């Protein structure tokens, strides 16, 4: 008998759905789940799920394969830095084990509580994309369990079509069992950070371009500023400290114990917070030593921070637009959201380098902006308007953050979607691996 359904959501807490969760211990357990005895009336249809940090419905389905027990290291080559581990291992576990030994992950997203399988499936990016690309570009190889139960080895050379479909493929090509990742030697785990205050969007884009050789760069942006101050920002530039000191990101911090009343998040409270944060004292000429966790994962120190948006949750809207249209597109997005009074505490701007060969990878050469909006029905028409702005400027939305875009918006933003859908059909993945998101987007 299958387990009873439970109510489940992802990090944005929207949508909420009833899910049957399976927790396999190994590949054989997954095989048995995918290939049930002939007497059983229905075949499995669902999706793999790591630590649940995707924001929307990409890791939700009627059945979910929870990979938390696939959480062991398999091999590490101390000369090359190649780590082989099971897909359920978290980035947090890797950092705690290898950072004290002088190694760091080549790419990290905004939280370390992501599984390796999830990082590959979302082809996550970090503050160094302009120089180092996505997580998938540092995956040497992976093992993939297909819909028919076969396990194949994939890399950019071997079964390359499946490799480039799986990196960024949102778990829709099969279940990633394990992967080999190339870690990076760093001269110190901390980051020497320089903070620059900019008066508007034009200035922050100019400073991103002027500091393109800096390894890490990210800007907090005041999304409610308007007029000549539209896009005013704090730009954080960083390099690993050269002091030979190594410390794993610290655990602990504060926790949000319950969902906050949604009415506390309004245009006035957010405007006040944004103004205070923007005006905080900084010394742009002086570097500050920042512990790695505080630079790369500032929100991880606040457990359950998603509860701040209330019981109904929030939507994160993240898009990328090419360099040549970035300033105009972001100006229109900010003007539209500001005029609607839809603000965000967390609005993050990053510069991207070139895209890659992965069929559904999000980044392209340009700029990406992410904004969090508390869930309310009046939000959806505005987001539809933002979609039109993004598409008109040659951009697209991030699948790992999406909970509501239409199939038309997806297909316009991801021109290789048909190639991806054809590969799924050829391997039978379309009959087995599906999520609420893939059904909504029709691929």
CA torsion 375-377-382-384 (nearest 10°) is 100
Q: What is the CA radius of gyration of the chain?
A: 21
User: What are the pLDDT digits (tens) for 87-124?
Assistant: 999 999 999 999 999 999 999 999 999 999 999 999 99
Which residues, 6 or more positions from 439, have their beta carbon under 8 angstroms from its beta carbon? none
**pLDDT number for residue 260:** 58
Which pairing describes strands 302-303 and 254-255: parallel, antiparallel, or unpaired? Answer: parallel
**pLDDT (average), residues 75-86:** 98
| pLDDT for residue 286 | 85
> Please, are residues 347 and 316 in contact by the beta-carbon 8 Å criterion?
no
What mean pLDDT do residues 204-219 have?
Answer: 98
As a whole number of angstroms, the distance between CA 433 and CA 6 comes to: 20
| pLDDT grade for 306, boundaries at 50, 70 and 90 | confident
Predicted confidence at residue 127, as pLDDT, reads 98
Helices (H), 37-132: 91-98, 116-121, 129-132
Q: Tell me where in the chain the CATH 3.30.465.10 domain(s) lie.
A: 73-186
Q: Which two tokens stand for residue 154?
A: 């994939």
Query: From CA 399, how far away is CA 13, in angstroms rounded?
Result: 16
Cα pseudo-dihedral 80, 86, 87, 90, rounded to 10? -80
Q: Residue 254: is its pLDDT beyond 80?
A: no
Structure tokens at 142: 């992976």
Average pLDDT over residues 168-197: 97
Q: How confident is the model at residue 276 (pLDDT cuts 50, 70, 90)?
A: confident
Name residue, tokens 């900010």.
Answer: 334
Region 308-320: what's the mean pLDDT?
90
Q: 302 by DSSP, 3-state: which?
A: strand
Q: Please tell me the distance from the alpha carbon of residue 387 to that of residue 96, in angstroms, as a whole number.
A: 39
Tokens of 295: 């630079």
Please state, in angstroms and rounded to a whole number, the distance separating the CA atoms of residues 26 and 71: 10
Mean pLDDT of 300-319: 87
- The answer to whether residue 81 scores a pLDDT higher than 70 is yes
Q: What is the CATH number of domain 191-404?
A: 3.30.70.2520
pTM over 0.85: yes
Residue 82's closest CA among 62, 103, 57, 51?
103
Does the pLDDT at position 9 exceed 90? yes
User: Cα–Cα distance between 431 and 308 in angstroms, integer?
Assistant: 38
Choose between 250 and 343: higher pLDDT. Answer: 250
Q: What is the dihedral angle through the alpha carbons of 361, 362, 366, 369, rounded to the nearest 10 degrees?
A: -160
Residue extent(s) of CATH 3.30.70.2520 domains in the chain: 191-404
Average pLDDT, rounded, for the chain:
92
Instruction: Assess contact for 207 and 200: CB atoms under 8 A.
Output: no
Q: Is the peptide bond before 15 cis (omega within 30 degrees of 0)?
A: yes
**Does the pLDDT of residue 263 top 90, yes or no?**
no
In sequence order, the 6+-apart residues with CB closer than 8 A to the CB of 384 are none
Residue 309: per-residue pLDDT = 81
Bridge-based pairing of strands 288-290 and 46-49 is unpaired
Count of alpha carbons within 13 angstroms of residue 200, beta-carbon side:
10
Give me the pLDDT at residue 24, please.
96
Sequence-separated (6 or more) residues with CB below 8 Å from residue 433? 45, 46, 47, 48, 147, 171, 172, 173, 174, 175, 424
Angle value at C-alpha 331, between 285 and 266, nearest 5 degrees? 85
> What DSSP element (H or E) covers 192?
strand 191-198
The class of domain 73-186 in CATH terms is alpha beta
Measured in whole angstroms, the distance separating CA 97 from the mean position of its chain's CA atoms is 22
Q: How far apart are CA 396 and CA 364, in angstroms?
A: 9
Quickly tell me which residue has 């009415």 as its tokens.
263
């Amino acid at each position: 008998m299958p387990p009873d359904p439970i109510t489940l959501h992802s990090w944005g807490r929207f949508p909420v759905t009833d899910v049957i969760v399976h927790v396999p211990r190994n590949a054989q357990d997954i095989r048995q789940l995918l290939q049930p005895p002939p007497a059983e009336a229905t075949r499995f249809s669902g999706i793999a799920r790591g630590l649940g940090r995707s924001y929307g419905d990409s890791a939700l389905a009627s059945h979910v394969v929870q990979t938390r027990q696939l959480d062991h290291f398999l091999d590490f080559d101390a000369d090359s830095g190649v780590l082989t581990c099971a897909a359920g291992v978290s980035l947090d576990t890797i950092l705690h084990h290898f950072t004290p030994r002088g190694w760091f992950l080549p790419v990290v997203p905004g939280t370390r509580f992501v599984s390796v399988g999830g990082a590959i499936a979302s082809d996550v990016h970090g503050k160094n994309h302009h120089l180092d690309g996505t997580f998938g570009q540092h995956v040497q190889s992976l093992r993939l369990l297909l819909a028919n139960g076969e396990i194949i080895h994939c890399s950019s050379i071997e079964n390359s079509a499946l490799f480039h479909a799986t990196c960024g493929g949102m778990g829709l090509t099969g279940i990633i069992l394990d992967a080999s990742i190339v870690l990076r030697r760093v001269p110190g785990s901390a980051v020497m950070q320089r903070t620059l205050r900019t008066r508007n969007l034009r200035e922050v884009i100019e400073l991103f371009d002027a500091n393109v050789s800096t390894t890490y760069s990210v800007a907090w942006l005041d999304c409610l500023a308007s007029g000549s101050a539209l896009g005013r920002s704090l730009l954080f530039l960083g390099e690993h400290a050269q002091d030979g000191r190594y410390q794993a990101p610290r655990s602990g911090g504060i926790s949000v114990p319950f969902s906050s009343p949604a009415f506390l998040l309004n245009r006035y409270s957010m405007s006040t917070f944004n103004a205070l944060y923007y005006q905080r004292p900084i010394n742009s000429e002086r570097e500050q030593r920042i512990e790695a966790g505080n630079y790369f994962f500032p929100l991880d120190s606040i457990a359950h921070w998603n509860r701040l948006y209330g019981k109904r949750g929030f939507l994160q809207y993240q898009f990328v637009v090419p360099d040549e249209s970035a300033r105009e597109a972001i100006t229109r997005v900010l003007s539209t959201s500001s005029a609607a009074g839809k603000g965000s505490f967390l609005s993050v701007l990053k510069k991207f380098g070139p895209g890659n060969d992965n069929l559904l990878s999000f980044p392209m050469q340009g700029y990406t902006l992410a904004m969090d909006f508390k869930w309310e029905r009046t939000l959806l028409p505005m987001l539809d308007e933002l979609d039109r702005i993004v598409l008109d400027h040659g951009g697209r939305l991030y699948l790992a953050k999406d909970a509501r875009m239409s199939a038309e918006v997806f297909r316009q933003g991801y021109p290789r979607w048909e190639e991806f859908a054809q590969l799924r059909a050829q391997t039978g993945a379309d009959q087995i691996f599906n999520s609420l998101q893939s059904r909504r987007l029709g691929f």
